[in-house]
Structure 1
Amino acid sequence: MTATAPSQAELAILKHLWTAGPQAAREVQDRIAGPTGWSYSTTRTLLARMTEKGLVERQDVHGLSVFSAKVEKVTLMGRLIRDFAANVLDMDGPMPATTFANSRLFSEQEAEALTRLLETSGEDSEGESK
């Protein structure tokens, strides 16, 4: 897992890649240009930075750069939720995750995994203390 939390822009790309799977930069751009208003060069710059940060992985397929999410959705979201709860809400310890059960971002299995992750106090998905 990367130590750096993704920006809102990076999170938009990650959410797209989690849903769509590996894609070329142009495919990412075609899907997110409407909601974000980004130019193709902005999307390419973000993908390059995200590769450096360890958030996405780049592979060359038949001369085309293809990007995929390198960070696991439930693990990253669990960390972001815990960080928000601790730093903004001053909450420590296990968290009820029922709020996230109806999120369109998570499948039923992912929502269950997130619930298990958030209900464990101070441990990541591998059970290691933070």
Structure 2
Amino acid sequence: MRHPLNRPTDVELSILRALWDLGPATVRQVHEVLASDRDLAYTAVLKMMQTMVDKGLLLRDESGRSHIYRPSQAREHTLKHLVDDLLERAFGGSALDLLATTLSSRKLGTSEREEIAQLLAKAKEKRP
């Protein structure tokens, strides 16, 4: 059953990031990644991942002895959805305000500035 993408909580986003890095994985593998940063019980990760399946954020393959989980949407799709949501809720749809706030709130290195310039150049080519 296909669910609309729900906005993941902070912990759910941590689980999604772990799965994007690992690829399809067991609860134990995800728990090992998360436990390196914070104190989380295996059973808590299991319950969160089961809830994420119910919410439509994860898919579970039950064909083997260990269940294998993977995100239901590609990383890019989920991140685009989150940014679009933030853009509308916090910035009234203004990408300029979002970008200006982001750029003014952090110090950028040379490579980051160059990458941003390249992205802006590509965006300019796409839309006259």
| TM-score normalised according to structure 2 size | 0.69
Task: Name whichever structure is richer in helix by fraction.
Answer: 2
Give 1:71's match in structure 2, choosing from 55, 70, 73: 73
| TM-score normalised according to structure 1 size | 0.68
Deviation track 1:52-109 (CA, whole Å, cap 9, x = no partner) reads 011111112431111111111111111111111111122247987xx7x95xxxxx9x
In the alignment, which residue of structure 2 is the partner of 1:46? Answer: 48
Task: Name whichever structure is richer in strand by fraction.
Answer: 1
In the alignment, which residue of structure 2 is the partner of 1:125? Answer: none
Give 1:83's match in structure 2, choosing from 76, 85, 96: 85
Larger radius of gyration: 2
Unaligned runs of 5+ in 1: 103-107, 121-130
Counterpart amino acid of residue 77 in structure 1: L
Unaligned runs of 5+ in 2: 104-110
Give 1:60's match in structure 2, choosing from 39, 47, 62: 62
Give 1:24's match in structure 2, choosing from 14, 23, 26: 26
